[in-house]
């Protein structure tokens, strides 16, 4: 359902804007914009993702403008340079998106975040309540301790961080990612091996029959800066937002597949942590897991728009 007259979609317009956030470094953000309505929905992707993850969802109803952006080190973002002591984190990306909205003249918006992008939107909702009209969180992580508990490979890197061997932990993770990325091939089997716990058994079978999605994921991985990806993951490991979730003032919809791996089962925790004094919903999409937005984009788009429309101030 597009809702547009004569079923003609508004054209997608791609642009690049330079931002200089208070945390981090000056950087160019490529983004795609579709629609020209006064109500904005901004999409934030995860680690090893890009704005193209949302191509199937970038269909705004009348009166809406949808924007998907490439975070630093991902998609068509320029090469990363600058101070060596700076790390790309959930916090720095939230600050970056806040400044991005200021630069494009958006004073209030709804936000959709997938995986790491969901954690960024969670942070954004806590830090900038005047900007966030509503948030949709798909596969977001709110507490790295839960993530560590159920993942043996992540536990190893977390142990290094706890022992204050941060530089070694980051270098080890970068080496791990570079080795894995160098082995990736444009095939479902190769992607399944790469994603590991991120993808469940049902999604394995779906991916084998979706060559376009296979191609998208392959190119996303190949165009990701592994240093930034490692910094992003370390940021998730160190994330501690459980106690702050109750301070979110905006309507919030929490979405995930109903079969994510144990390390990624955060939806019910986040939903429970949200205040009962703000509109909130939880939706678990059947037969998919952590990559629900890639496998069920139309259904997720529909429930997100319905939720935001219902709670539009």
**Angle, CA of 142, 267 and 271, to the nearest 5°:** 85
Q: What is the pTM of this model?
A: 0.93
Cα–Cα distance list, 209 to 205, 215, 258, 292, 298 (Å): 7, 12, 21, 16, 18
The per-residue pLDDT for 2 is 44
Nearest Cα to Cα of residue 180 among 224, 128, 231, 210: 224
**Angle, CA of 164, 197 and 143, to the nearest 5°:** 45
Contacts with 35 (C-beta within 8 Å, 6 or more apart), sequence order: 10, 60, 64, 65, 66
Query: Which of the two residues, 260 and 208, has the higher pLDDT score?
Result: 208
pLDDT digits (tens, 9 = 90+) for 69-117: 999 999 998 866 555 557 889 999 999 999 999 999 999 999 999 999 9
What is the count of structural domains for the chain? 1
As given in the structure block, the two tokens for residue 212 are 């376009």
CA 202 to chain centre: 21
Q: Which domain holds residue 302?
A: 5-310
pLDDT digits (tens, 9 = 90+) for 150-206: 566 666 666 766 666 778 878 888 888 999 999 999 999 999 999 987 888 889 999
Contacts with 160 (C-beta within 8 Å, 6 or more apart), sequence order: 166, 168, 169, 172
Asked whether residue 313 carries a pLDDT value surpassing 80, the answer given is: no
Instruction: Say if residues 14 and 31 touch (Cβ distance below 8 Å).
Output: yes
**CATH number of the domain bearing residue 124:** 3.40.50.1820
């Amino acid at each position: 359902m597009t809702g547009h007259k004569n079923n003609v979609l508004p054209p997608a317009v791609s642009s690049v804007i330079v931002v200089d956030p208070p945390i981090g470094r000056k950087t160019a953000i490529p983004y795609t914009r579709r629609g020209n309505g006064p109500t904005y929905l901004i999409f934030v992707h995860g680690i090893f993702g890009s704005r193209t993850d949302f191509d199937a969802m970038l269909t705004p109803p009348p009166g809406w403008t949808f924007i998907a952006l490439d975070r630093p080190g991902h998609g068509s973002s320029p090469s990363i340079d600058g101070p060596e002591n700076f790390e790309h984190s959930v916090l720095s990306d939230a600050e970056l998106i806040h400044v991005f909205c200021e630069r494009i003249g958006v004073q209030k918006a709804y936000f959709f975040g997938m995986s790491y992008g969901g954690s960024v939107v969670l942070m954004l909702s806590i830090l900038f309540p005047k900007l966030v009209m509503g948030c949709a969180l798909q596969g977001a992580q709110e507490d790295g301790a839960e993530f560590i508990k159920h993942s043996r490979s992540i536990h190893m890197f977390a142990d290094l961080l706890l022992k204050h061997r941060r530089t070694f932990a980051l270098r080890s993770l970068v080496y791990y990612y570079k080795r894995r990325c160098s082995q990736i091939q444009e095939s479902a089997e190769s992607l399944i091996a790469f994603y590991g716990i991120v993808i469940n058994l049902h999604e394995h079978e779906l991916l084998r029959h979706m060559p376009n999605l296979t191609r998208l994921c392959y190119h996303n991985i190949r165009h990701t800066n592994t240093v930034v990806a490692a910094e992003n993951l370390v940021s998730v490991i160190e994330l501690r937002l459980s106690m702050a979730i109750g301070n979110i003032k905006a309507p919030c919809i929490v979405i995930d597949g109903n079969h994510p791996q144990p390390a990624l089962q955060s939806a019910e925790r986040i939903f429970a942590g949200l205040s009962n004094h703000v509109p909130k919903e939880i939706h678990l999409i059947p037969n998919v897991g952590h990559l629900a937005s890639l496998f069920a984009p139309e259904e997720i788009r529909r429930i997100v728009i319905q939720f935001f429309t219902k709670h539009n101030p």
